[in-house]
Amino acid sequence: MTGEPALETPTDDTTIILDLRGRDLILIPPASLWALDDAALYITLFGPDDAPAAPALLARDRRHRFLRARPIDFSRLRAALLATNSWRVEVAFPTAPLLPLQPTLQMSPRPYQEEALLAWRAAGYRGVVVLPTGGGKTLVGAQAIADLGLWALIVVPTIDLLGQWRDALAHALALASDEHLGVYGGGSHDVRPITIITYESAQLHPELLRQFGVLVFDECHHLPAPTYRQIAEGAYTPYRLGLSATPERADLEHLALTQLIGPEVYRRAPEELSAARYLAAYDEQQLTAQLSPDDLARYSAARATYRDFLSRRRIAITSPADFQRKILWASARDSAARTAMLAWREARSLALNAPAKLALLETLFARHQDERVLVFSEYNTLVEQVSRRFCIPQITYKTPADERRQILERFRAGQYTKLVTGRVLNEGVDIPDCGVAIIVSGTSTRREYIQRLGRVLRPKATRAILYELITENTTEERVAERRRGQKGQH
C-alpha cells in the first residue's frame, strides 16, 4: 500500500506526476518546464486563474526536479492541474484504497445519527459532527466507514480509546478484530485495513497516513494543537470526519478544523437528545458556599493586587490566550507581572477550594447515599483531600493504569458508590454509568462542563443530576454565569 519510490522525471514530456515523498506530496513537472522561473512555471501548469495561489502551496526542491507541497493540498492541486487540460496527470499512489471486505452496519442507527451521516455525505464526505457524550459518536464513525468502504484510520487521544473503538467497531460492523481491525499505540503496532491510532503515534509516523482513504478524528478538538495538526496536513485523502461533544477551544483554534477536516456539518445539544429521550433526563443545580472571613479577606486582597496590575499596565484580558501571553509569559521576565500572576493563582485557589464546599459535599453524599456519585475537582490536592476525608477512591493522572481499571470496574459493579477525580476522566475513558455528578471546582470552559455532564447522561429510568458548587462573592459566580450564556450560542 505504500507505493514505489517517486520517479525523478515523467516518462514523457506531456505527463505530470503526483507522488508522496517523506512527509510531503511532490509534483514532478515535464522536464521541459523545469527551466522556467516560478511565475512562468505556475502559469503553464495551472493557468492564469489558479497560478496566483500556487506559491503558497508549492516550493521547489533544492536537490531534485520536483515541487513539494503538503499532502492535504492534493485534491486542490490535482483539480487545478486537470482544469488546464494541457497535461496528463498521473498519481503514483492509490487514492481510494478499498477495504478487502465491504462492512455492513449491524446496528440500527438513531434518526439523528442517520441525519449526521447524510449531512457529512452532502458536504463531500468531510466535516465535523458534534454530539454529546453518550450520543453515539462511535456509531457515526462506523457508519462513515461502511458508507465509503475505504481503508480507514481512526485517530484517538488516549490509549483507553484504542480498545474501546476496536471493540465498538468489531460489534457495529461484525468484523474479526484480529483480521480487519488493528491498533497502533500503547505498545501495539498492528496496521490493518481499519486501524485505530493515537494522535501521538499518528504524528510520529506520517508514513502510515498514506495507506488510508478515510480519516476519523475522535475528540477532534485536539487536532488544532501545533504538533497534531501535522496529522491532518500530512494526509492526502479529502475524506475526513471529525467527532466531538465540544469542539470549541478557548484559544479559538477550533476555527482551523474547517481547513483540517471540513466545516461543522451537524450538531445536537445534550438538552435536545435528552428531550427526545435518547439521553437521560437531567437537572442542573448550583449550590453556594461561603469563604470564611479570613479567607475572604485574603481573596479580596489577592484580587485587588491582580486588578491593580491590569489597571496600571492598561491590560485587557478578553480570552485565555490573552492571559497566557500578557500574564503567564510576562511573569517569567517581569517581577510585577509575576506578583500579579501569583495573586491571581491564590485568589483562584481560595475560590475553587473553599473548605465550605466539603460540608456541601457531605450533605450531597448523604442525600445520594445509595447512588453512584462521581465528583470532579480542578485541583488534584482537593481530590486527595476529598478521598481522605470521605474514605472514597480517587483517580488522578498519577493513578497507575491497572489501579484505575480496577477502581472503575468496582465502581461499575457497585462495590464503590462514590468516586472522586480530577480532569483525567473528562474524556477518553469509558466511565461506568452513574446518575449523579458533582463539580466541586472546574474551569470556565463550556467544553469541560459538557464533558462532565455527559458522564451522567446515558439513558436510564431515573433523572440524572449535575451539581455545581460555587463560592459566593468570587469570580466563580461570574464564570458560571458566563458559561450559562454560552449555552444558548450553539
Measuring CA to CA, how many Å separate 157 from each of 127, 143, 199?
19, 21, 5
Same-domain status, 362 and 343: no
21 and 167 fall within a common domain: no
Of the residues 29, 56, 91, the one at which a domain ends:
91
Which residue type sits at 29?
P
Write down which residue in 337, 352, 367 finishes a domain. Answer: 352
**Is residue 373 within 8 Å of 419, Cβ to Cβ?**
yes
Domain boundary among the residues 234, 268, 302 is at 268
Both 340 and 444 in a single domain? no
Domain co-membership, 344 together with 366: no
pLDDT of res. 5 = 45
Report yes or no on 225 lying in a domain.
Answer: yes
pLDDT values of the chain reduced to their tens digit, one per residue, 490 residues:
444 444 455 556 789 999 999 899 999 999 899 999 999 999 999 999 999 999 999 999 989 999 999 999 999 999 999 998 788 999 999 999 999 988 999 999 999 999 999 999 999 999 999 998 888 999 999 999 999 999 999 999 988 899 999 999 999 999 876 789 999 998 899 999 999 999 999 999 999 999 999 999 999 999 999 999 999 999 999 999 999 988 988 778 889 999 999 999 999 998 899 899 898 888 889 999 999 999 999 999 999 999 999 999 999 988 777 888 899 999 999 999 999 999 999 999 999 889 999 999 999 999 999 888 989 888 888 899 999 999 999 998 888 888 988 998 898 888 999 999 887 776 656 666 788 989 888 655 677 777 777 777 777 778 888 899 999 999 888 877 776 655 545 4
Residues 319 and 419 in one domain: no
On whether residue 103 sits in a domain, the answer given is no
- Whether 471 maps to a domain, the answer reads yes
365 and 468 in a single domain? The answer is: yes
pLDDT at 184: 96
| CATH number of the domain enclosing 421 | 3.40.50.300
Q: Is residue 99 part of a domain?
A: no
- Look up the domain containing 322 and give its range: 293-352
Integer Cα distance of 90 and 3 in angstroms? 13
pLDDT (tens digit, 9 = 90+) per residue, 442-452? 655 677 777 77
What are residue 467's DSSP bridge partners?
A: 285, 438
7 within domain boundaries: no
What's the predicted TM-score (pTM) here?
A: 0.83
Same structural domain for residues 193 and 76?
no
Domain annotation covers residue 311? yes
Residues 73 and 170 in one domain: no
460 and 427 both lie in a single domain: yes
Total number of domains constituting the chain? 4
For residue 186, the model assigns a pLDDT of: 85
- Is residue 118 located within the same domain as residue 263? yes
Same domain, 225 and 323: no
CB neighbour list of residue 271: distance below 8 Å, 6 or more residues apart: none
Q: What is the pLDDT of residue 429?
A: 66
Enter the DSSP assignment of 457. Answer: -
Note whether 264 and 120 are same-domain residues. yes
Residue 2 falls within a domain, yes or no? no
Return the pLDDT at 214. Answer: 98
Q: What is the pLDDT, as a whole number, of residue 85?
A: 77
Handedness of CA 258, 262, 268, 270 (dihedral sign): negative
Burial class (CB in 10 A: 0-12, 13-18, 19+), 181: buried
- End-to-end distance of the chain based on CA atoms, in angstroms? 41
Is 212 part of any domain? yes
Cβ burial of 359 (10 Å; 0-12, 13-18, 19+) is: exposed
